[in-house]
Amino acid sequence: MLYGYTDNVKVGYLRTLEKFIKKKNISDTLISNELLKRISSISFEMGRQIGLLIDRNNIIQIVLVGTNKEVLIPKLERFAITPGKLRGLRLLHTHLYGEDLDEDDITDLKLLRLDAVSVIKLNDRGEPYKLQMAYLYPSHEKEYDIIEYKDPYNIKDNFIEFISAIESELSRKIKERYEVKKGFSGVLIGVYKDKKEAEESLFELKELCRTAEIIPEEAFIQIKGAIHPKFVVGPGKLKEIVIYAMQNNIDYLIFDNILSPAQSRSIAEQTEMKILDRTQLILDIFARRAKSNEGKIRVELAQLKHILPRLTGRDDSLSRLTGGIGGRGPGETKLEIDKRRIRDRIAFLTNKLKDIESVRQTQRVKRTRKNLPIVSIVGYTNAGKSTLLNNLTKSDVYADNLMFATLDTTSKRLRFPEDRECILTDTVGFIRNLPESLKGAFKSTLEELEESDLFIHLVDISNTQYKKQIDAVNQIFEELKLNDKPKIMVFNKIDLVDKQVITEAQKDYPEAIFISALNKKTFEELIIKINHILFVGGKKLGIPVRDYFEKV
């Protein structure tokens, strides 16, 4: 492959350079004397930097044609990096004015995980008089090291043996870290308006990662008035993050900011690492947690709608095949086929949901005929809604100390003395700044809320951000125009906080009830209040709460 600034280059030079492709460097050293001499001579005659990308079999895979100051490296997806390994390619390129290895060379070495990056220094007669080689250093003492050969024609070191030993040590270091972390890891990235917002949002992002079983290894934040329109954090910072992630065998780059399709593509062009934003992370959690047929369909639908505008051909091999009529070659056709399949699947799932919604509407009508009041437990994710439902109704709905532990809406009967009963519904947890694209996955929950007669707004008092979580839930209620319905505010997890925290909350929310969803003995005031609101003229239970549960 010949790549680079080939415009305005004489055809004779291009043909000469093309002959180097797939040619073998007949030497176990960094570069053979014959190849060194020929490349230096051609580079000097052209007045341009010439680069070679050579694999471990000493075969020249790519020839780079540069300007007099730089060479550009193409995408190297077909030379994929195995975790813990190097790329298996070494770069050698000429420097016409005797310059040393520069910052761009070192960045390419670290960012692309090349075996080595070397510069051949030419004198004013076009002769190589020095050669510098940089390679990644397998120690925390420094990131890379440089070897200088004062006589490029007298290099005797066996390069393949040398770089294989370096790679083995790098792999051993990474394996040690991997065994310690035990699972997928991620780097958290975010741009925020101030430090307080950064602290609060990162805390929540870490909890989302924990739910998705991703270990956050490091966080990179920037305090700015606005995000970079192309790379979110800026190109320099992004390179720094990618280099850190590759050196530490990180699995994911996780952005707290929601990435636009254009930003996703721009970032993907800078790295081969897996990229997630806040929306994709939540979708991944939804996909894990959805159990019902409807839940699974809604999540898949949300995922497909999120993927469709981001679907693009990243492989250079596809773009090189777009030479048919109107530039529509096989690569573009394949991309269009993928998009069409996704659109067809979206249409199929949408129709399937209409059938499910029709059945649910029938069930709702039957429930309404029985005049059973509906009580919905709402609140921020991981407030303890499923645990409360289980202990109020003697159910065994899945509950865990995780965000979005349950996605599907669950309804159970709650019986009171005097043959009174209601439907108690556990809804999916809310989260602040919920992207519009995810609201479809909440549709069944939102429909249940519209049918509710009473809300139990459950709050996790052990979360230091509980006031902001209350505001987030109240904002959603306002958007849904549900504020006219009765609501009981209930603070949960009182067993996890000091009395002072409870006292302060009681001052701010005097009408609230305080419970531990794990302790039924704390439920009496809540049950009395539900009974009183739902059933006009309702009386207090008149029996100890423990006897009430035994009776139920």
Rounded Cα distance between 145 and 148, Å, is: 10
Q: Is the pLDDT of residue 11 over 80?
A: yes
Sorted by where each begins, the domain ranges of the chain are 2-178, 183-283, 290-361, 372-551
Give the phi and the psi of residue 532 in degrees, each rounded to 5: -70, -40
b/e map 123-156, b = 16+ CB within 10 Å:
eeeeebbbbbbbbbebeeeeeeebeebeebeebe
Pairing type for strands 410-416 and 420-426 reads antiparallel
Topology alike, domains 183-283 and 372-551? yes
Structure tokens at 435: 């992207």
| From the candidate CATH numbers 3.40.50.300, 3.40.50.1980, 3.60.20.10, 3.40.50.720, the one assigned to the domain spanning 372-551 | 3.40.50.300
392-414 confidence digits (pLDDT tens): 888 776 555 555 655 566 778 88
Give this prediction's pTM: 0.68
Output the CA torsion 279→285→286→291 (10° steps). 170
500-549 confidence digits (pLDDT tens): 999 999 999 999 999 999 898 898 889 888 888 887 544 444 444 444 44
Rounded Cα distance between 54 and 62, Å, is: 7
Q: Is the pLDDT of residue 156 over 60?
A: yes
For 409, the 3-state DSSP assignment is coil
- Enumerate residues 6+ apart whose C-beta is below 8 A from 67: 5, 48, 49
Q: What is 183-283's CATH superfamily?
A: GTPase HflX, N-terminal domain (3.40.50.11060)
State which H helix or E strand residue 173 sits in: helix 159-181
CB atoms under 10 Å from CB of 393, counted, come to: 19
b/e map 432-446, b = 16+ CB within 10 Å:
bebbebbebbbebbb
Residues above pLDDT 90, as percent of the chain: 26
Higher pLDDT, 449 or 37: 37
Q: Dihedral of CA 301/302/303/306: which sign?
A: positive
209-228 confidence digits (pLDDT tens): 888 888 888 999 999 888 89
DSSP states of 5-41: --TT--HHHHHHHHTTTT-B--SSSSS-HHHHHHHHH
355-392 confidence digits (pLDDT tens): 877 776 666 666 555 667 888 888 887 888 888 888 88
DSSP states of 316-339: HHHHTT--SGGG--HHHHHHHHHH
Q: Which pLDDT value is given to residue 236? A: 87
